[in-house]
Amino acid sequence: MKKLIVLTMLGFLTACMDNHNSDYLSSSSYSTHQTIKVKVISRREVTVSRDDGVIGVGAGAAIGGLAGSSITDSEAEKTILTIGGAILGGMVGDSIEKEGSKIKANEYVLEKSDGSLITVVIKDGSFRKGDKAYLIMGKKPVLRLID
Give the distance between the most distant pair of CA atoms in the chain: 74
Asked if residue 29 has pLDDT above 70, the reply is: no
Q: What is the DSSP string of 66-118?
A: HHHHTS-S-HHHHHHHHHHHHHHHHHHHHHHHHHHT-EEEEEEEEEETTS-EE
> What strands lie across the sheet with 132-136, from one edge to the other?
117-122, 103-112, 35-48, 132-136, 142-145
Q: Do 144 and 107 belong together in one domain? A: yes
Q: Do residue 45 and residue 59 come from a single domain?
A: no
Number of independent structural domains in the chain: 2
User: Percentage of residues in the chain with pLDDT exceeding 70?
Assistant: 70
Domain limits for position 129: 31-49+103-147
More confident residue, 59 or 11: 59
pLDDT tens digits for range 68-85: 777 878 888 878 888 887
- CATH number of the domain bearing residue 122: 2.40.50
Is residue 63 a contact partner of residue 89, using CB atoms and an 8 Å limit? yes
User: What integer pLDDT is reported at residue 18 of this predicted model?
Assistant: 45
> Does 129 lie in the same domain as 95?
no
Q: Is 143 left (phi over 0), alpha (psi -120 to 50) or beta?
A: beta
Burial 37-48 (b: 16+ CB within 10 A, else e): ebebeebeeeee
66 belongs to a structural domain: yes
Q: What is the value of pTM for the model shown? A: 0.51
- What pLDDT shows up at residue 28? 53
Q: What pLDDT, in 10s, does the model give residues 89-128?
A: 777 877 776 666 678 889 999 999 999 999 999 888 889 9
